[in-house]
Amino acid sequence: AQRVTQPEKLLSVFKGAPVELKCNYSYSGSPELFWYVQYSRQRLQLLLRHISRESIKGFTADLNKGETSFHLKKPFAQEEDSAMYYCALRKVGCGYSSASKIIFGSGTRLSIRP
């Protein structure tokens, strides 16, 4: 069964320090992975996806199929990065209906200290 694991419920770092939010997945197939963010009193929104290989707000994430990980990184944390971060996985292939199931991890609350 597909599963997304975010081992840290809370991560607290100082402003300017590097940030790494961990995400591991289990899936026997070709996954599509995402990071979503929820700022205080705002809706969940897409931060980035692995197929785009993009950097959004200074964040990057590399898919490591060998380690089944998709960690989110930023070299220098900013106070506005404080939010709830969710890693998500979409099952690809094996029929139209099942291919669309998108599963989220339990989330990591990132707190940036001034």
Where along the sequence are the contacts to other proteins (CB under 8 A)? 6, 9, 32, 34, 36, 43-46, 49, 86, 88, 90, 96-98, 100-107
Using CA atoms, how far apart are residues 9 and 21, in angstroms rounded to an integer?
Answer: 10
Identity of the residue, 38 or 60, whose beta carbon is nearer to other proteins in the bound complex: 38
Q: Residue 114 Cβ, how far from other proteins at the closest point, in Å?
A: 26
Identity of the residue, 8 or 13, whose beta carbon is nearer to other proteins in the bound complex: 8
CA 84, chain centre distance (Å): 10
Q: Residue 6 Cβ, how far from other proteins at the closest point, in Å?
A: 7
Using CA atoms, how far apart are residues 17 and 77, in angstroms rounded to an integer?
Answer: 5
Identity of the residue, 15 or 57, whose beta carbon is nearer to other proteins in the bound complex: 57
Q: How far is CA 35 from CA 55, 58, 94, 111, 114, in A?
A: 12, 13, 23, 17, 24
Q: Residue 97 Cβ, how far from other proteins at the closest point, in Å?
A: 5
